[in-house]
Amino acid sequence: MNFQNILVTNEQHIATITINRPSKLNALNKATIDELHTAFMEANKDVNVKVIVLTGSGEKAFVAGADISEFADFDAKEGAKLAKRGQELIFDFIENLSTPVIATINGFALGGGLELAMACHFRIASDNAKMGLPEVSLGVIPGYGGTQRLAQLIGKGKAMELIMTAGMISADEAKNSGLVNHVTTLEDLVPTAYKIAGKIMRNSPHAIAAAIKAVNANFKDGVNGYEVEIEEFGNCFGTDDFIEGTSAFLEKRKANF
């Protein structure tokens, strides 16, 4: 597939998707959102892809937000449509993928950029990264799930403060808040994600997909996460991965999923 705004590489069972609009600090315009949807869908369908790594091109930004130039003249109806479309096409879509997605935050992750990183299954940041949801400074609120996921990740009070002040936090502050799992140098950022991906892919892809579903269930309205866990746990028992994983343990060898 020929993309204009993103780059996709596929190596050693890792699909790396790079948002590639460095002159606009990788801001998410409509075309980029459409391309990201296609790239994530294809990577998730590819049985050879065990982990997806998302990053931004250049040394300055992961993503500096939704592309402000595209929505500055929108009315209420168009604004709501923009948020709904984006949430469906990439933010909710990524969160619910069965393939693990790691965000590597290599600079500014603001507004839709931080929302995108938060939709990924977990995050790693480089020490130059700056994160925030500055939407209220533009007279709007986060619309790609930021009000929900930031509160889930760092707690309601901290999320309220960060959103209301339109402030930015450093990579270390983000780590202390639980927003990112690790902080590295810019140079080590993607290699660290690949190292973690290597550990993930030793395990059963079926069980990992089930774990993503069960963890996500805790954050879905009207869904009992414990029930989802019981169901997904049970479903694992019928799989080839379960037979291989348990046999390998009993035979004192490494499982080959």
Q: Active-site positions?
A: 115, 135
By CB under 6 A, tell whether 67 contacts ligand COA.
Answer: yes
Q: Kindly state the smallest distance separating residue 125's Cβ from ligand COA, in Å.
A: 15
Residues 6+ apart with CB under 8 A from 181: 122, 123, 124, 175
Instruction: Report the C-alpha gap between 174 and 195 in whole angstroms.
Output: 21
Q: Is 56 in the site for ligand COA (CB under 6 A)?
A: no
DSSP H or E segment with residue 200: helix 186-200
Q: Kindly give, in sequence order, each residue whose CB lies less than 8 Å from that of residue 138, ignoring residues fewer than 6 positions away.
A: 68
**DSSP 3-state assignment of 191?**
helix
User: Between residues 82 and 189, which has the closer beta carbon with respect to ligand COA?
Assistant: 82
Candidate segments 58-66, 146-154, 173-181, 198-206, binder of ligand COA by CB under 6 A:
58-66
* Of residues 114-153, those binding ligand COA (CB under 6 A): 134-135, 138
Task: Report d(CA 184, CA 4) in Å as an integer.
Answer: 29
Q: Which of 60-68, 75-83, 93-101, 116-124 is the region at the interface with ligand COA (rule: CB under 6 A)?
A: 60-68
Dist CA 120 CA 93 (whole Å)? 10
Interface with ligand COA, residue 112, by CB under 6 A:
yes
Residue 24 within binding range of ligand COA, rule CB under 6 A: yes
Which residues bind to ligand COA, rule: CB under 6 A? Answer: 24-25, 27, 64-69, 108, 110-112, 134-135, 138
